[in-house]
Amino acid sequence: MGNLWARGLSVPVLPAPREAEIAERITEEAALTAELSDDLRIDPLVAEGAMVAQGAPLFRLHRQPEIVVTAPMAARVARLDLAPGRRLRDITLFREKGEGRHRHALPGDLRATLLASGLWTAFRSRPFGRHPAPGEIPAAIFVMAADTRPGAPDPRLALAGRAEAFARGMAALATLTERLILCQSPGDPLVDPSDRLTVLTLPGLHPHGLPGMQIHRHFPARPEARTWDIAAEEVAALGTLLETGHLPETRLVTVTGTALREGATFRCQPWADLRALSRGLVRPGPHRHVSGSVLDGREARWLRPRDRQVSVMPPASRDDDRHWFLSALRGARRPLPLIPTAALEQALGGDIPTMPLLRALSTGDAEAAIRLGALSLLPEDLTLADYVTCSEPRLSRLLAGLLARIEAEEAA
Residue 324 pLDDT: 46
Are both 190 and 302 inside the same structural domain? no
The answer to whether residues 327 and 307 belong to one domain is no
pLDDT of residue 317: 61
Last residue of a domain, one of 244, 266, 289: 244
Q: DSSP characters for 10-49? A: ----SSPP-TT-EEE---SEEEEE--GGG--BEEESS-TT
Tell me how far the alpha carbon of residue 27 is from its chain's centroid: 21
Report pLDDT digits (tens) over 162-190. Answer: 999 999 999 999 999 999 999 999 999 99
Q: Tell me the residue type at 19.
A: E
**Of 203, 227, 244, which residue constitutes the final position of a domain?**
244
Last residue of a domain, one of 316, 342, 366: 316
Structural domain boundaries, residue 373 = 322-411
Report the domain count for the chain.
3
Q: Tell me what pLDDT residue 320 has.
A: 42
Are 48 and 193 members of one domain?
yes
In this structure, the chain runs to a length of 412
Cβ neighbourhood burial of 334 (10 Å; 0-12, 13-18, 19+): exposed
Same domain? 91 vs 5:
no
State the first-to-last Cα distance of the chain, in angstroms, to the nearest integer.
37
Closest CA to 135 of 109, 171, 107: 109
Q: Tell me: do 292 and 205 sit in the same domain.
A: no
Tell whether 112 and 183 lie within a shared domain. Answer: yes
Query: ∠218-122-310 over CA atoms, to 5°?
Result: 95
**Domain check: are 61 and 13 in the same one?**
no
Q: What are the Cα distances from residue 238, in Å, to 107, 213, 244, 296?
A: 14, 25, 10, 27
Cα separation, 299 vs 292, in Å, equals: 9
- 153 and 128 share a domain? yes
Looking at the structure, tell me whether residues 328 and 310 fall in a common domain: no
We report the CATH number of the domain holding residue 127 as: 3.40.50
Q: State residue 329's pLDDT score.
A: 44
Do residues 241 and 113 make contact, with C-beta atoms less than 8 angstroms apart? yes
**Distances in Å between the alpha carbon of 25 and those of 91, 105, 254, 276?**
21, 28, 12, 9
Q: What is the pTM of this model?
A: 0.93
For position 350, what pLDDT does the model report?
78
| Confidence (pLDDT) at 208 | 94
- CA angle at residue 267 from 384 to 164, to 5 degrees? 95
For 272-322, the pLDDT digits (tens) are 999 999 999 999 999 999 999 999 999 999 999 999 999 999 997 654 444
Q: Please indicate, yes or no, whether residues 40 and 4 belong to a single structural domain of this protein.
A: no
Residue by residue, pLDDT tens for the chain (412 residues) are: 345 555 788 888 778 888 778 999 999 999 999 987 788 999 999 999 999 999 999 999 999 999 999 999 999 999 999 999 999 999 999 999 889 999 999 888 999 999 999 999 999 999 999 999 999 999 999 999 999 999 999 999 999 999 999 999 999 999 999 999 999 999 999 999 998 999 999 999 999 999 999 999 999 999 999 999 999 999 999 999 999 999 999 999 999 999 999 999 999 999 999 999 999 999 999 999 999 999 999 999 999 999 999 999 999 765 444 454 555 445 444 455 566 677 788 888 878 888 999 999 999 999 999 999 999 999 999 999 998 888 778 999 999 999 999 999 988 7
Report the C-alpha gap between 296 and 306 in whole angstroms.
12
- Tell me the C-alpha distance between 81 and 59, whole Å: 12
Residue 225 and residue 286 in one domain:
no
Residues 205 and 145 in one domain: yes
